[in-house]
Structure 1
Amino acid sequence: MDKSKLLKNKVSVTIIAIFCSILWGSAFPVLKISYEELNILAEDIYSKVLFAGIRFFISSIIIFIVLILFLKIPIKIKKENIFIIFVLGLLQTSLQYFFFYNGLAYTSGIKGSILAQSGVFFVVILSHFIYHDDKMNFKKLVGLILGFLGIVLVNSSQGGFNLDMSFRGEGFLIISGLVSAFGTILAKKLSKDIHPFIVTSWQMLLGSSVLLIVGYSGNKEMLDFNLVSGSLLLYSAFLSAIAFCLWYALLKYNKASEITMFKFVIPITGSFLSVLLLSGEKFTINMFFALLLVVVGIVFVNYKKKDIKNENYRKVG
């Protein structure tokens, strides 16, 4: 099958998008274990920024190696594209993860997992005004509501959810979602003319360089990795490289709002994986119903009803 057809086919798109969401969902328990192993405290902003910088720098190197050694694709980019890719790196890597990592430290995990997906709403809204073929409609509205309810439901049994808001906590997470949405729109634009893997590698390299500079300037020393934290760092780097490359490839051939709907799967898969990997986490019936709501919402948005009469006419003719 042709690559473009594969990335447009609803079945393969669904599989790839859910696979990316599972990878991103696994980052929640992995990061939690990593911070414990590295003794990174909630208020230690620079260490978290430094960790993120190392993670995405390694991710960019992994993609460069794949491009050069296996795909045999030149990694050189035109001078006129450097600035716009740097902007994407600032949005998608530097700013998004700066606000996400630090906002999560000042709010509960429950509200964090809900607000972290605010970017889904922003992408759908921005797509309505930017793309003539990606307008808001009843299906998308219902899908957004179901997806949001699923995230609320998966966390409702964990306790501790309240409406208290702080700029440094919940505010940072909403800013992270907004920055991510702008990054998604920009990534879709760039991926039309530049190979998605090249866009991913360069934006990660440039974005992670900013994180490394900021993190090291406040830390003055590198993190002390052991076997466990080092292994988890490599895993998180690989998952980012794989997920972002595949995600940008999907954005190239599909509507941004429809693809982004799959991100509602992230906190639910993160909850399931936390049960498996973290002590004290338990499976709840709410997780099952939350997953069901999200699946129904995604199917509702992406399902395209066939014209049965025309289909039967073509078969008879």
Structure 2
Amino acid sequence: MNSTHSIFNRRDILFLCATLCTLLWGSSYPAIKSGYAMLEIASDNIPAQMLFAGYRFLLAGIFLLLFAKLTGKSIAVSSIAHWRQISILGLTQTTVQYVFFYIGLAHATGVKASILNATGTFFSVLLAHFIYHNDRLTHRKALGCLVGFIGVMVVNFNKSALDFDVSLEGEGFIVIAAFTLAAASIYGKRISQHMDVLIMTAWQLSIGGMALMILGWSTGGSLGNFDWQSSLLLIYLALLSSAAFALWGTLLKYNPVGMVSVFNFLVPVFGVVLSAIFLGESIMELKYLIALVLVCAGIFLVTRLPRQL
């Protein structure tokens, strides 16, 4: 009885925390669009976008380091081996993934980018199948991922989704970004078993953010003048990143990868709906409800515990 009650509570916490992470990441869609408008960053100005992202993630890492200090944690990394692991994680999960995503987004429609970015969940589930013996791919998991992916397609559906023209620099780079994030997340789960998740996340965001800033500057990126509104917006983006990445890393540390990563299907749903709300677009469309139902059904199929006989 106690065991069942414990599992139930842990599953509830997973649902609440994972949904909160995806809600925060989804809110970054309208926030980033607003930031680009305030700082006069064109949609195809990749160097400026990388620079903006670099500020965001470096600031997120600094916020986590300050939080760790205030709560009495040591922010020191214990060994050179751990520094190497954190650096690899930061450069892949934050820097490389975003570089591929930004370049891909500049050569593909936003609709295609959102749909193809959701393939990261498939990559996570497949990689976990081969790496972790307790996270095998089952028919139920496969069906759940498929249903969730269909939900992402529904929420992004318009005429451009029917355009089957693809290119390596566009759609190909979006898929590479999704695979990079999936592989880096699994790598992060592995190294989190031997270090504090908060400290690991803080340093990887700082390292990845700094690398993005250097790339942005070295390729000619520049931003408009910050005022109090754009500064507050950047602080919000940094805070949501620090909170979401730290919480997500903790969920991955203590739960199977497939059970956590399926919640990523909620990100584009929240992103589209929140963009519609905050950017003044209509959300009274049936496709949003259908998409949410499909994504939630997919999550249920993947996270449903096997029936005890």
**Normalised by the shorter chain, which TM-score bucket?**
over 0.9
Check conservation: 2:51, 2:222, Cα contact below 8 A: no
Please state how far the C-alpha of 1:208 moved relative to its aligned partner: 1.1
**SS of residue in 2 equivalent to 1:75:** coil
1:163 partnered with 2:164: yes
Check conservation: 2:48, 2:222, Cα contact below 8 A: no
Which residue is equivalent to 1:265? 266
Which residue is equivalent to 2:153? 152
RMSD of the alignment, in Å? 1.7
Which residue is equivalent to 1:73? 73
1:41 partnered with 2:42: yes
1:116 partnered with 2:117: yes
1:249 partnered with 2:226: no
Q: Which of 72-81 and 225-234 deviates more?
A: 225-234
Check conservation: 1:22, 1:269, Cα contact below 8 A: yes
Aligned letter for 2:202? S
Aligned letter for 2:85? I
1:193 partnered with 2:187: no
Taking the aligned partners of 2:142 and 2:153, their CA distance within structure 1 comes to 17
1:32 partnered with 2:53: no
Taking the aligned partners of 1:28 and 1:138, their CA distance within structure 2 comes to 33
Q: Which of 72-81 and 260-269 deviates more?
A: 72-81
Check conservation: 2:101, 2:177, Cα contact below 8 A: yes
Aligned letter for 1:203? Q
**SS of residue in 2 equivalent to 1:304:** coil
Aligned letter for 2:210? S
Check conservation: 2:51, 2:212, Cα contact below 8 A: yes
| Unpaired runs of at least 5, structure 2 | 1-5
**SS of residue in 2 equivalent to 1:219:** coil
Check conservation: 1:51, 1:223, Cα contact below 8 A: no
Aligned letter for 2:76? K
Please state how far the C-alpha of 1:7 moved relative to its aligned partner: 11
Please state how far the C-alpha of 1:100 moved relative to its aligned partner: 1.6
Please state how far the C-alpha of 1:215 moved relative to its aligned partner: 0.8
Taking the aligned partners of 1:225 and 1:265, their CA distance within structure 2 comes to 31
Q: Deviations over 1:205-232 (max 9, x none)?
A: 1111111111111226554222332221
Check conservation: 1:272, 1:283, Cα contact below 8 A: no
Show the 5 A alignment for 1:104-143: 104-143=105-144
Which residue is equivalent to 1:238? 239
Please state how far the C-alpha of 1:6 moved relative to its aligned partner: 9.3
Check conservation: 2:26, 2:271, Cα contact below 8 A: yes
Taking the aligned partners of 2:35 and 2:221, their CA distance within structure 1 comes to 20
Aligned letter for 1:250? L
Taking the aligned partners of 1:268 and 1:73, their CA distance within structure 2 comes to 36
Taking the aligned partners of 1:41 and 1:142, their CA distance within structure 2 comes to 39
Which residue is equivalent to 2:3? none
1:83 partnered with 2:84: yes
Identity, in percent, stands at: 36
Aligned letter for 2:232? S
Taking the aligned partners of 1:225 and 1:94, their CA distance within structure 2 comes to 23
Show the 5 A alignment for 1:89-104: 89-104=90-105
- Quick one: structure 1 residues 279 and 102, their matched pair in 2 at CA, closer, same or farther if it must change by over 3 Å? farther
Q: Deviations over 1:139-165 (max 9, x none)?
A: 111011101100011112x43212111
Which residue is equivalent to 2:295? 294
Taking the aligned partners of 1:263 and 1:281, their CA distance within structure 2 comes to 24
Q: Which of 125-134 and 215-224 deviates more?
A: 215-224
Count of equivalent residues: 302
Which residue is equivalent to 1:56? 57
Taking the aligned partners of 2:84 and 2:209, their CA distance within structure 1 comes to 15
Which residue is equivalent to 2:203? 202
Aligned letter for 2:133? H
Check conservation: 2:144, 2:302, Cα contact below 8 A: yes
Taking the aligned partners of 1:65 and 1:234, their CA distance within structure 2 comes to 14
Taking the aligned partners of 1:119 and 1:7, their CA distance within structure 2 comes to 27
| Unpaired runs of at least 5, structure 1 | 309-317
Taking the aligned partners of 1:174 and 1:7, their CA distance within structure 2 comes to 35
Taking the aligned partners of 1:294 and 1:38, their CA distance within structure 2 comes to 34
Which residue is equivalent to 1:275? 276
Which residue is equivalent to 1:20? 21
Point out 4+ residue stretches in structure 1 off by more than 4 angstroms: 5-8, 220-223
Taking the aligned partners of 1:145 and 1:269, their CA distance within structure 2 comes to 19
TM-score, length basis structure 2: 0.93
**SS of residue in 2 equivalent to 1:160:** helix
Taking the aligned partners of 1:202 and 1:119, their CA distance within structure 2 comes to 23
Aligned letter for 1:118? T
**SS of residue in 2 equivalent to 1:133:** coil
Please state how far the C-alpha of 1:8 moved relative to its aligned partner: 7.6
Please state how far the C-alpha of 1:285 moved relative to its aligned partner: 0.7
Aligned letter for 1:159? K
Check conservation: 2:124, 2:183, Cα contact below 8 A: yes
